[in-house]
Structure formats: structure tokens, C-alpha cells
Structure 1
């Protein structure tokens, strides 16, 4: 009873606070607060896409009224409070952040709004429309009701080209024949603007370098009809420059491979494949740079070819600026053809660079420690735009808090060398002109890593990779690695860790197969690059297949035992992930972001279990944030109720399902906020007796999801994001059935991470 009284008291205080925000008492006697406008459309005929027309008309119903939050004029209230002589520090601060000037009825110019409505209607073919407006007053507030009477619109009977000079007439005539305009189309000014832009774009692709869409005009003729129909004629404006009406071809292509704006020394060009490569010394070999340049001598000017060339050159990674300029050669121009000289200026980055990074790593499993990495880069190793990256890293982590310190600190050291060729390296020559958008890159790398986990084990690993990556367009990226090798060796294992392995045969098997050799392929569609779009999609699919090719050379040295290669037991498995994101963009940095992830791995042949480094885990700052990293699952397994378990420092499985939903919004400046909910878990497709059978995937998986919710704070400085997410679980699958739904607000998890989770 006391609790109910307390809640009622709080509600009464809130109601009193909301009531105190009433602004009616502050409105001057001779004014009325403007509360907005409505629009009614009255038409003589059916209007196609009336909703879109109404939305456009409503966009001119200005000014916008004062904003309300939960029915309260919060910003207006603090404006009025700040007008007092002694408004107080808090009111002044709230006014600065929230306040807005009142919009009165006297601020509304109805005659201007009515003129704008008529203008928009005429632009859409509704000529001779009429408008009216009425005031709707109530107490100290007023709204305006607008009404538009729309007659039958004008419809197009015929669309054709008018007379034009011979140099351009045929080209424009062919483009008009391909028009999206159809008979009985409503007169629409916006459609005509788009038609002009379409024709201009295609004319430029045909070499009309100096043409502009503003040179085109439309004339509508209604004299032949008396039933609101018209003929549409496309014409050229008067006094259009002659050079705008002729196409241009490329006479020279000059490539300055090491351009310095302060350098005016005349250099002798190197002629290669009908291009002039100009450089003081051979910094970038012409035969390697030539495939990136799509502009060719003798061909007509095409802005798309120019754009493709600039993009391809930028992807090399050796240049900070790519500037393509065209110079008209007037002395060689004729009445029907112009001449252009192409100059490509390339400003290289510094050939060698050294980058150092010092980090303080804090993970959601309470591991905290410093990290240092050094990377040396050579951006033009062999004179063909090759990039060599050699890096060394060191990190120490320790887990703060808790009773058991086993495995709670680790030392990691790593060395990695990566070599990237901006072209395809393949035994059979591949025509790089086939790749229109970007030339694929060849990547090869080799690395070694040392990990010492206190009181548990030391893990030595080596990796080698050879593959290709390329952008099919601005959204789609492919990456294939036909050679992907990973070797791990577990050493210096402690008695405590040996006991963990002895109690968990699955975990022991996952460490036994030291050699992984296979193929990986990744497909990515990234529609998030269009940040202004309302609906944004992202899809990543990854395939990982190991042991097939090497299995041809495997030997079975002992009956009923796994095969080996060069004396090493190798893994065989297939694994597939699907990661799908959808963002609904409300505008003004308000985004509803969602994510679905599904992954499945299957061991076969030489393997009973997927290698430990390839298994899935759940929980953490990029997963289900209400659970610590690698602590969720598998299935409904609970370590606290398992009297036979040793310390499961990492919980893994071969099946993973996750779903995330997050609402993102701005707070102030580079501070952003979020409200989120996550759900997910991992399972095993084959029952692991160590987990008492609680880990096996079944049709009841929805009831076995770990679910949590929370609040987030992000510091977003030019897309560099520092993220803090505070989350608490409200469905814990490790608890007994009937007790799993419990919002544990007393033990929230604080996640710290770099970048958005999805």
C-alpha cells in the first residue's frame, strides 16, 4: 500500500510540473499563438498520386508552428521564462538548449502561402486553380485551414524536338525517342527538369564537352486543342555558343605521375600505349599505371570514363590527390568536331611511413590493459603501387575483480607482414578491362602470434594468406582467399588447464587439430554509404571451407585416427555466416538500426569438432551487451548449477543466432545517445556431455535466447566513435524455466568499445 501511495505522489508531482509548463498565460492579449495549418483538396477529377501532391503542397504551409513534446510547448515555455528580469541560471541554460521564439498568427502571411500553393499546382499542370484560407481561433491560439480547388489538369498529346543545328540534331532526336514521357502524361515542371538533365548527361557521354542542360527549353502549345491538352516541343535557347553544339575527341593523354604544383621544369615524356607519362625519374612504372587509365586518345570525351579513371587511380593507395583536367585545343577545332588534351595530375603520398598506436583496452569481460602497435609502410615498393605493411604489436590484459584469478591476465605479442598489389596476380593473364569499376587487388600476408594466458597455457600461432579483393561497384565488395593457412601449437599447459580439457572432450578436440588450411569467400553489400537514404541495408555473407584440398595429400598413419599432413593433424569443416543490417533513417541523426546474424559450422571428415579459434561465442560489446563477453550459453547451460564443471573460461558453440534493435539520436554536439535491446545465444548441433546436454540446438531455441536492454552514450567525432553501453538482462536462459524473465537492474554490464556495434 505504501508503494502505491508513493507512485501516486510521484505522478501528481509530474502532472503538476506539466501543468506549470502551460504557456497560455504568457501570450500577449493582442496575439494568438499559431498552432499550424491544415489543407483540403477539392478536385473536379481523380488525381493520380494525390498523397504525393498533398505532401508537396503541405511543405509550403509556412511558418512551422512551435514544437511540442508530450503535448507541452517546452521550448516556448523556457523562452517566456527567460524574458523575466531574474530568470535564474537554470532557466537561462534551458532556454539556450531548448528555447524557441513564439510563432504568432500575425507572423503568418496567408497571401504568400496561397501564392506558393498556386505556383506548385501550376508546376504540376493544374492551371486556373483557386485557393482560400480561414482562421480557426480557440482561446489564445489559432490555426489556419487552407483549401485548394483543383480543375482537371493539362495532359500531353505529343512530345517532339524542334529545329536544331545539324551537329546536335540527330543526337537529341535519338534521345527524345527514348524519353520516359508517355502520352496523356500530366504537365509537370519537375519531370521536364529531369528530362533536360537526362539529355544533357547522355550528350556529354557522346562527347559534347561544353553542353549544359540550361541550354534546353520546353514550349507547350495548347492552340490545337480545346480539351486541356498540349503539344510539348524541345528547343535550344537563342545564342547558345557554337562550341557547345559540337562533340570533342581526345588528342593527347598526359599523365604526371609525380606531380608537384611548384615544379615547372619541362620533362621529356615516356610514350607507352598511346599515353605520355611525365616524371623526373621512373617512380611508377607506366606498364603498371596504364591499366588504371580508361581515357584513350582518339575517343570522344566521356565524363563517366573520366570519373572511372579518377576512382581507379585513387584505389591504388599511393596517391593523395588525383586531378584530371581537360584543355581545349582551339587551333585544331572544326565546325563539327572539337579537340581536347587530357592532363592527369597525380600527387603521391610519402613513400614511407611509420605509425605508432598506444591503446588502453577495456573489455566487457573486465579485461583491462595497455596495448602498443608499430606499423611501417612502403607505399610503392617495386614501382607499381605495391604497399608493404610490417607491424609489431604487444598487449597485456588483466581481469579486475572476482575470486578466481585463473586465466585472468594475458600477454600477447604479434608480428605481421602484408603485401598488397593493386592488380591481379594469376598464372593465366586476366584482362583487367573486364573490371569496369575497380581493378582487383592481390593480398598476401604472413604473421606469427604469441599468447600467454596466466595459469592456463601458452598458444603459438602462425598464419599465411593469399587472396583477392575488389569492388564490383560502390556498394558491393568481393573478397576471396584461395589460400588461408593457420597453424597453432598449445604449449606450457598447466595442471589446472589439463583438468579443464580432461573434463571437456569437445574442448580438448578443438585444441588438438593444429593445422587449418582452406578457402574463404566474403560478399558484402553496403548500402549504408548512402547516409541520406531513408531505408539503408547492409549484407555480409562469409564462407569458410577448410581441409578439402589438403585432404588429397593426407595420410592415415594410425587406424581409426585422424589423417595428418606433414605429421600435423589438420581440420576439416565448413562454416557460413550471414550478417544483415537495416537502418531506418528518420533524418536529423535519428536512426532505428536493426541487425540479424546467423552462423553455422559443421565439422566433417578429419574433424569431430570445429577448431577452437573458429567457434562462435556470444555476449559482449558487439553482441548481446547485457552479458559479458563469451559468457552466454551454450543453450541453457548454467555453470553455477553444474557441480561437475571446471572453470569454463570461454563458452563456445558451432551455431549462433542474434538479433539487435537500437534507436540512435543526437544529444548535444558530438554526444549521441541510444536505447537498445539485444537477443541471442550459441548452441552445439551435437550434444556435449560436459554441458549436461543443455547446449544442443532444438526447436525450442526462442525460449533459450539471452535477452537484454539498455542505454548507450557515444562520442562521435568525425566518424571516430567511442561507445559506452550500459545494459541489463531481462531473460537469462541459464536460469531455471519460470525464473528466466527477470530484469536484473542491480547488476548491469558496462560495455566500452570503439565504433558502432552494427
Structure 2
């Protein structure tokens, strides 16, 4: 098809999409295309006016049919079929999934929206505001027009808290120091509501179990001065007597085998066990009593505290042993102002087996499939321990790139035992909402790279995982052991080692004995924030204690354990991500990774599996995995055709990506990536690889576009990327922007990289 035909087709589609929006609007009606909102400029700050405008735009209803470049695709699809008789099928999908019924002007209630606007601005302190509503028509389209004159905003002149001799009033008065109601600040109904909630929350921390924020009243007097108000915080006169009293915890009852289908409390004879402050009622000893003492944070005699209440429930849930957790408090019959706590726990099935079939990709541009079989035993030793044994087998292949044809076959198994507490000779405790875990792990993996070699890897670790809160998480492996050996090394690979000796380290035996610690902070679960961040810092130390014991200080004469030299190094890596949310549809995501590894003592270089690599589907996407650096070294000229060996001791990577929703589950992205790796020391085999003060001039840079198909259960990602800067070229010639030629097949073959991956890159 000629270019003219493409242009004609494009204009035809645009015409159909653009014109069909009003073609089937009912006679006598108009298509509603949105609204305008004008706020007259007054004495209020511009920031206040903008905030009010933004809030009002969200409140005005209905929302019009979405448009794109002046077109309304949803109306086009809706109008393709006049009638659809079935609730499913292709026609129903086109009309009601791709399409959407037209929003008509007759559905717009101008007076209602005017009242919404007036009510909102008055709640923000503009008591004398004036608003109006009207509409305009253009052809078969109509638009609503709203105008607001805010006039003067009332400010808070004084705030008075209750003065009374009763306990409740005294407690409320002590909370005034941190009040949200500040003298001189604008009157705001939302702030007043938040203040009532704050006081209620604080009282719940001080034993006032039956108190409710609705028992508080904030009276407003707007006659005290010109555009000022007095606020009087009062306790309502008719609140229940028990809402005025503090309550303490008396008895604590736990039902660990509660059955939702029948009331096991009343229909079956239970055994009662006393443990510390707990009374555990069960028909059989399913759980050891100490697990509840460590999980529940209330003690007999404590003032009721809402935080402790919620933390205890959350800790029971995060044990991972109970399907349902129910809790209630009842007044004690014999002690006034005392509560008995009841916990009803429904256990999960103790043993289960799960089979998973996965599609996966990795940073080396390999895609493949994996089959996992997982067997779990909850409450293994009656202390809510989780024993999980898994076996896996998988195949990975590179669709395109220099590893094409060299498939990877993997199989192995792993066993994990997790205790929901700290197992330690030292006293360790946690009062957070998350139960701390102690984890022991053993694993084995056999990896066969066809035509090259096979690797056997054993891993073992013992450590702790704990969360301070939903944002902060710690992972400490006190002991981390890894042993790798190779066999079945092919003649092809041996011949490449002769040409490139550094390939030998891939198949050398490696023994790592050390400690790792990582800290993660994230607030990405907060969806309504303008800025979200993610940070992960990791420290990896190996061979230090063993090195001191064995006196390892000479890498030319390394000490060995069981005939294998152990690795000695320190490694630090930090990953920081920032997400700026323009709105719900568009986000600017950025990432910076900094890493450094220093070998010493028993090691001359980092173990191969601990070195840094860069490039690939989730890194610098304009370059193949492990094909950049180190430094200005060009590994493509000397490296074999099937395995890049471009690794380093230092790493710097920067990424930024603009993400936006194009249509429902389809999202688009524009991105720029930059970075490189370096060696700490000079290498005769890799000239230009050493880190220097000129490192910024040695960054690889790439850019591209992509689509993300977000099906909620799976995100399929496609990216097209191309280099903007090649660090291995001569200085002065590294920027290759002028060479970009999408119409040139030779340029595309050499520079245009297609990445297919699962999930977002970061």
C-alpha cells in the first residue's frame, strides 16, 4: 500500500472517530462535552484558588465521555452496533467494553452542581461566596459553565477546649497542645472533622473504649469579628455514661480452633489452659500457648489502647496460620470499668500442596517457563512454624541476541523453615504490627547451559526478617553459605577460555561464607500521594571471620576450606526510586542504582556471581544484557559470540520513564537509561576498564518507547530501545544521536533492540 493510501486511511479513521460522537444523539438532546469553571480573582492567595479549582473539578458531575485529540473513540465503538441482544460475545464486548454510552446534557443538573460548589467553598471558610451556573451550545454539543466569587475567607480567632472537672474533659484539655485548629488559620470544615477524629484516636489510646468522635461538637461563632470565627470544642450533653470512663483489660481468652460454621464455644467441651495472663480454650492442644503470649500485646491491668488492639490483630494475621481472626471486648461482670478480651481464631488447613506454571524473563534477555511444586506444613512444631519444601524445573531461551541457541535448563529444590519469632541466644522482641520471623533455608540448583557447561549450586542461610511497619523492612542473614562447582565443560567453551582467560572464573569453584543485611523503605502502597519513593540498601560481607581465624591475607596464596578457596570481600548496593504522579493516569518513574564491591585478603577479585552487570530488559534497554563496559572497554570485539563477560566491581545506573494510560489496560512509556560498570584496578585484558574521575564521560545512554499490557494478574512489557551514547567509541565520537536512521535497515539491525519482558522494569 502506498503512502498516500496510508494517509487517506488515517484521515478516514480520524473522521469516523471524530464525527460519530454526535451522529446518534437522540433528537432534542445534546452531547455533554464537559464544563468550565471560573473563579473570580480576590484577596485569597493564588495557591488557595488553584486548590479549590482542582477540588471542584473533581466534584462536578457527570463526567463527559473521554476524548483523545478531539475524538471520542468510546462513542465510535458504542455506535457500531445499534442493538446487542446477548450479555456476552463480540458485539457486547465492543459496545460495552470498548464503547460507552453518550453522556447527554439532559443528565446534567446545573442547580445540583451549583449547590455542591457553594457548599464546598463555604466549608472552606468562604461564607459570603456567590456561585452561578449556565450552559452553552455548539451544534449538537453542550458545555456547562460555572462561576464562583469567593469574597473573603474567614480565619480562626480563638479555640476553646472543654473546662470541666470530669475525667473525660480533663483528658481532652491535655490534647489541645497538638490541635489541628490553629489561630490565624482559615476556617475549614475538613480540618474540624480531622480534629474530632484526632481527639477520638488519642482518647482510644487512653482507655476510653466506648468514646466516639460523634460525641464531640465544635461550635462556630462568626459574629465575633470581621471575617473571623471563634471555635468552641464541647462534649455533647447526652453521651452515654460509660463513654466518660477509662477501661482496663482484665481477662484475655483465646480460642485457637474456632469454627465459623458452628459455634464451637457452646457445642463442644473445651479444655482450658492458663499461661501467663492468657486463658486458652481448645478441644485439643493444637498450638503451644507461648505463641499467643508473644503475639498478643495486651497484659492484664493495661489501659485499653486502640493501637495495641490493632497491633495484636495484625500480628495474629501475619502469623500466616489463621484463615480468620475475630476479636471482641466485653465488660467484666465483677469489676467495674474492666474489659475482657476474646480472640476467636480459625486455623488454615495445616498441609497443602500447590503447583504453579510460570512464564518469566530475566535481565539477560532470556525468556522461558518454569514449573514449581510447593508443599507447605503450617504449625509444624505447634508453634505456628511454616515448613515449605519446593521443587522446580524450567527452560530459558534467548529469542534474540548473541545467546540465541544456547538454552538454559534448570532444576532443583529448596526447603525453608520459618519461625514466627526471634530464635536467638539474646533476648529480642518486637512490638510492631508484624511478627518477626527467623528463617533457615537450604537449596540446590542444577543449571545446564547447552553446548557450554553445567553448574551445581548449594545455598544455605540462617537469619531474621522483621518489619517495623508497612514501610520499613529488615532482612539479616547471620550466616549465608554458597558453594558452586561446574562440570561437563564443552570443548567449545574451553576454546573460548584460551582466547579470553577471564571466562575461566565462570566455571571456577566458589565458596562464599558471610553475612548479608538489607533495609527496604517504601511508601508506594499509598496511591493518593503525589510523590512515592522506594529505597533498598544491601550490605554483603564474606569471609571476614574465617579470614581472621585462618590468617587469610594473601590473595596469591589463598586459604581453603574443604579444598576450595573461600571468597573474602565487602559489597554495598543501593537502589533508590522516585515516582511523581501527575494524576492517576500519568507517572514519571526514576531510579538510581549505585554499587561497589571490594575484594581483599583471600580474594583478588569478587566471585563471578557477586560482580555487577549492566544492560538488558530491566536495565539499560538499548544494550544487550552484560554487554556494556567495564568503562570504555569494548567487549563486543574480544568476547566470544555466546557469553558476554563484561562485569565490574563498581556500578552506576540511572533510569527515568514517563508512563501513561493509553486505553484501559494498555499503557505507554517513554524512557531514557544511562549507566556503566568499572573495575577498581587496571586489567591488561580490559584496557579502559578502571574507574577514574572521568566516569561521567563513560556512561552508556539509551532511549526508547514501550507498551505495557496490564492485565492485573500479568503485566506484559514490550520495549523498543536504541543507543544515544556508546562509551566504547573514541572520546568525542561517543554521542551517536546524529547517526539515528530508523529508515535504514542496517542501522536498525545494529542498534534497534526489542525487549519482551514480564512486569515493569522498576
TMscore range, shorter length: 0.7 to 0.9
Counterpart of 1:268?
271
Counterpart of 1:422?
420
Task: Quote how far apart the aligned CAs of 1:666 are.
Answer: 4.9
- 1:375 equivalent to 2:379? Answer no
> How big is each residue's C-alpha offset from its partner over 1:336-371, in whole Å with a ceiling of 9 and x where there is no partner?
xx3321111222222222333344666686756654
Task: Quote how far apart the aligned CAs of 1:18 are.
Answer: 4.3
Counterpart of 1:206?
206
- 2 CA distance for matches of 1:56 and 1:402? 51
Counterpart of 1:585?
581
Aligned CA RMSD, in angstroms, stands at 3.9
Report how many aligned residue pairs link the two structures: 739
Match of 1:479 among 475, 478, 488: 475
Counterpart of 2:707?
712
Match of 1:682 among 673, 677, 680: 677
Query: Is the Cα–Cα contact under 8 Å of residues 216 and 236 in structure 1 kept in the other structure?
Result: yes
Counterpart of 1:661?
656
Task: Quote how far apart the aligned CAs of 1:450 are.
Answer: 2.8
> How big is each residue's C-alpha offset from its partner over 1:86-106, in whole Å with a ceiling of 9 and x where there is no partner?
xxx9999478624442544x6
Task: Quote how far apart the aligned CAs of 1:624 are.
Answer: 3.1
Task: Quote how far apart the aligned CAs of 1:213 are.
Answer: 1.1
- 1:542 equivalent to 2:538? Answer yes
- 2 CA distance for matches of 1:135 and 1:469? 61
- 2 CA distance for matches of 1:500 and 1:564? 28
Query: Is the Cα–Cα contact under 8 Å of residues 596 and 651 in structure 2 kept in the other structure?
Result: yes
User: Secondary structure at the residue paired with 1:690?
Assistant: coil
Counterpart of 2:250?
251
User: Secondary structure at the residue paired with 1:460?
Assistant: strand
Match of 1:529 among 525, 545, 550: 525
Task: Quote how far apart the aligned CAs of 1:307 are.
Answer: 0.7
Counterpart of 1:340?
339
Match of 1:457 among 428, 447, 453: 453
Query: Is the Cα–Cα contact under 8 Å of residues 164 and 236 in structure 1 kept in the other structure?
Result: no
- Identify unmatched segments of 5+ residues in structure 1: none
Query: Is the Cα–Cα contact under 8 Å of residues 688 and 696 in structure 1 kept in the other structure?
Result: no
- 1:756 equivalent to 2:760? Answer yes
- 2 CA distance for matches of 1:705 and 1:673? 24
Matches within 5 A, 1:279-294: 279-294=282-297
Counterpart of 2:694?
699
- 1:445 equivalent to 2:441? Answer yes
> How big is each residue's C-alpha offset from its partner over 1:348-404, in whole Å with a ceiling of 9 and x where there is no partner?
222222333344666686756654433332222222222222333334455678999
Query: Is the Cα–Cα contact under 8 Å of residues 82 and 92 in structure 1 kept in the other structure?
Result: no
- 2 CA distance for matches of 1:47 and 1:587? 21
Matches within 5 A, 1:315-394: 315-329=318-332, 331-332=333-334, 334=336, 338-359=337-358, 371-394=370-393
Matches within 5 A, 1:174-185: 174-185=174-185
- 2 CA distance for matches of 1:33 and 1:306? 50
- 1:49 equivalent to 2:31? Answer no
User: Secondary structure at the residue paired with 1:311?
Assistant: helix
User: Secondary structure at the residue paired with 1:198?
Assistant: helix
Task: Quote how far apart the aligned CAs of 1:519 are.
Answer: 1.6
Q: Compared with structure 1, are the counterparts of its residues 50 and 332 closer, same or farther at alpha carbon in structure 2 (3 Å cutoff)? A: farther
Task: Quote how far apart the aligned CAs of 1:609 are.
Answer: 1.5
Q: Which moved more, 1:22-31 or 1:499-508?
A: 22-31
Task: Quote how far apart the aligned CAs of 1:184 are.
Answer: 3.1
Q: Which moved more, 1:393-402 or 1:575-584?
A: 393-402
- 2 CA distance for matches of 1:630 and 1:44? 60
Q: Which moved more, 1:546-555 or 1:352-361?
A: 352-361
- 2 CA distance for matches of 1:47 and 1:277? 62
TM-score calculated relative to the size of structure 1: 0.85
User: Secondary structure at the residue paired with 2:383?
Assistant: coil
Counterpart of 2:156?
156
TM-score calculated relative to the size of structure 2: 0.85
Q: Compared with structure 1, are the counterparts of its residues 90 and 557 closer, same or farther at alpha carbon in structure 2 (3 Å cutoff)? A: closer
> How big is each residue's C-alpha offset from its partner over 1:272-311, in whole Å with a ceiling of 9 and x where there is no partner?
1111112223222112331111022222222211110111
Query: Is the Cα–Cα contact under 8 Å of residues 677 and 710 in structure 1 kept in the other structure?
Result: no
Q: Which moved more, 1:128-137 or 1:202-211?
A: 128-137
Task: Quote how far apart the aligned CAs of 1:240 are.
Answer: 2.3
Task: Quote how far apart the aligned CAs of 1:236 are.
Answer: 3.2
Task: Quote how far apart the aligned CAs of 1:595 are.
Answer: 2.3
Counterpart of 2:118?
118
- 1 CA distance for matches of 2:81 and 2:270? 70
- 1 CA distance for matches of 2:448 and 2:45? 76
Q: Compared with structure 1, are the counterparts of its residues 689 and 504 closer, same or farther at alpha carbon in structure 2 (3 Å cutoff)? A: farther
